[in-house]
Amino acid sequence: MLSSSQELSSIFGWVSIACWVVVYSPQILQNFSLKSGEGLSVAFIVLWLIGDITNLLGGMMAGLLPTMIILAMYYTVCDLILLFQVYYYRHQKSSPLNQLTASSPLLPKPEPPLAHKSFLARSAVYLLAFGLVISTGVIAWLLNNKGGAQPGGGESEKGGDVLEWRSQSLGWISAVTYIGSRVPQILHNHQTKCEGLSLAMFFFSISGNLTYVASILFKSVRRRYIIANLPWLSGSALTVFLDIAVLCQFAYFSRQQKRIVLPSSEEARRSIVDEDD
């Protein structure tokens, strides 16, 4: 009979998987829609990729939850897709066929007023989506239990307690690169005003990290277990704070955009009235 803490560990683990399965999708789709990957910092993606690779290797050596092993493999593929998009669309833009011609407009067509959804409106949509993702994770946990599989994929009693210098070194490298990856993205956002960046990606990143930390802590709080998992706990927990900083950037630049769009809309309305007079 499983204890309530083990059940919670399993539930949080499955919810974490559900969050991370969808985390990249909004950004990949947004890049495809915009035909551009300029909202992303290349350094952000490369550091994230290094973190995912070392995370995968370190997790396998340390005998961590299969949650981490499954996710790290998936992350690596998605990181490569994002890198491909950035350089593919850059190459397309630099292609002679896409260069400005004499008949091409010097500036893109302006977007209609209030084309950008407010930060609060987008946040409400993503919170609703997060609720659906949580439901998916819980359903996956129920199906997993019904199939008779143990939470954590049938780990041994001492699974995750391995203290070995190679896995710990890889784990800490992974943690540092995960945390460090947000720094170039935050700096990049100051230049792009978060244009082309998916807010949903960071919502689900925060959710995935928090539920992953919870899945570890509810599994066990034994000192040896916590020490063995400390690199992954640190990497996930500290990344949350930097992702929150990115959400703050979204809110700030969204408010700035609203202040710019509203006056221009009012000026356009006045000019139309003047022309009618």
Total of domains in the chain: 1
Residue 139 lies in a domain: yes
In a domain, 109, yes or no: no
Within a domain: 101: no
In a domain, 67, yes or no: yes
**Cβ–Cβ contacts within 10 Å for residue 111, how many?**
9
Q: Which long-range contacts (C-beta less than 8 Å, at least 24 apart) are formed by 95-99? A: none
User: Is 108 part of a structural domain of the chain?
Assistant: no
For residue 90, the enclosing domain spans 4-95+117-152+161-271
In order along its 277 residues, the chain shows pLDDT tens digits of: 557 888 888 888 888 888 888 889 999 999 999 999 999 999 999 999 998 888 778 767 766 567 667 767 888 899 999 999 999 999 888 866 665 554 444 444 444 433 455 666 666 766 776 677 777 777 777 777 665 554 444 443 344 566 777 878 888 898 999 999 999 999 999 999 999 999 889 988 998 899 989 988 988 888 888 888 888 899 899 999 999 999 999 989 988 877 665 554 455 555 555 555 5
> CA 275, CA 272: separation in Å to the nearest integer?
5
277 assigned to some structural domain: no
Q: Which residue has the tokens 């995912």?
A: 52
Is 104 a domain residue?
no
In a domain, residue 105? The reply is no
- The answer to whether the CB of 6 falls within 8 A of the CB of 151 is yes
